[in-house]
Amino acid sequence: MPTDLSPTARALRTIEILQARPGVTADELAASLGVTERAARRYVGILREAGIPVESARGPYGGYRLGRGTRLPPVVFTEAEALHLVMAVLDGQPAADVDDLVGTALGKVIRALPESVGRQAAALREHASAAPDRHSARPDPATTSALVSAIASRRRVLITYRSESGNEWAAEVDPWAVVARYGRWYLLCHSHRADAIRTYRVDRVHAVQRTAHKFEPPDGLDPVAALEENLGTGWEFPTHVVFDAPLAEVAPWIRPPMGRLESSGDGCVLVGSTSNPAMYAQEWLASVPFPFRVEGGQELRAAVATLAARFAAALADNP
């Protein structure tokens, strides 16, 4: 925490900490502010003198918290925070123009900034451009909100899902987490239909219905790690690919959605599944620079055969 903040800035920062971490102790508050514990208590006193109710409780579960119904001052961004916010928006949604919801929201934020900060943020937005990620897929905010709400309340949901191949089904799932990964949003869950962990693209979830059943997520769940581990499982078409190269050399070329890579003799085996065999063959397997054999998954074998025929035709001598 910078030590050159003004008393006013530290008082505002104190409010932010109390709002974000109800029950924060004096020593934790002091560490966040970069001051002594005595000084942290003094800032709490300043807030109380200004009419902002700050409640305190003693004991192992005690600490400071804002009183109920507290009217907080407007959000204040530093110059660095404002510029990072604009950059994050442009990176996440390159369009961000005045005609879309993100663009209008960003415009409101910039107009609400102090003139010196807002001028730089507006200039950054106007003169910086970002190329859209062709693989990104933004889900419906209402669907995402419904899933996040179910996660927070630990309620099982019934979802309607449509795969990339066009197949549609309903599944009753325990929603563990929503994870944003490289421009795509995923639901990590336990599917009661499959009795297994599943990862679903949120943009392909077409309905969410909350049920009365409660659930408990696994202890110590790491949503990002669990998503990476399970991205390549549970899809319609199985895949089984054998590489004639050591696992250590092949592994850097294998994306988690392709499946699980395991050692096998002098080579390795990739076992997974896909809903789009053509994409699996054309974009994923074709980029791996090692000899391989598709030993499982008739749909993937057919897709590889089609791709091979196209390339062979491209090299055929013209009559």
CATH of the domain at 158: 2.30.30.520
Check whether residue 24 and residue 43 sit in a common domain.
yes
Is 134 a member of any domain? no
User: Domain limits at 171?
Assistant: 141-230
Report how many domains make up the chain: 4
E-strand ranges in the chain read 54-57, 63-66, 155-162, 168-181, 184-191, 196-201, 205-214, 237-243, 260-264, 267-274, 292-296
pTM of this structure: 0.69
Is 218 a member of any domain? yes
Is 135 a member of any domain? no
How many CB atoms are closer than 10 A to CB 29? Answer: 23
**How high is the pLDDT of residue 1?**
46
**How high is the pLDDT of residue 165?**
77
Check whether residue 225 and residue 244 sit in a common domain.
no
Check whether residue 250 and residue 286 sit in a common domain.
yes
Average pLDDT across each block of 10 residues of the chain; the chain has 319 residues. List them in order.
61 82 89 90 86 80 77 70 84 64 82 82 85 80 94 96 88 96 91 94 95 95 93 91 96 93 94 93 95 95 96 81
Instruction: Choose the final residue of a domain: 15, 42, 66.
Output: 66
Check whether residue 208 and residue 252 sit in a common domain.
no
Residues 6 or more apart whose Cβ sits within 8 Å of residue 12? 73, 76
Is 254 a member of any domain? yes
Using the 8-state DSSP alphabet, how is residue 284 labeled?
A: I
Check whether residue 150 and residue 218 sit in a common domain.
yes
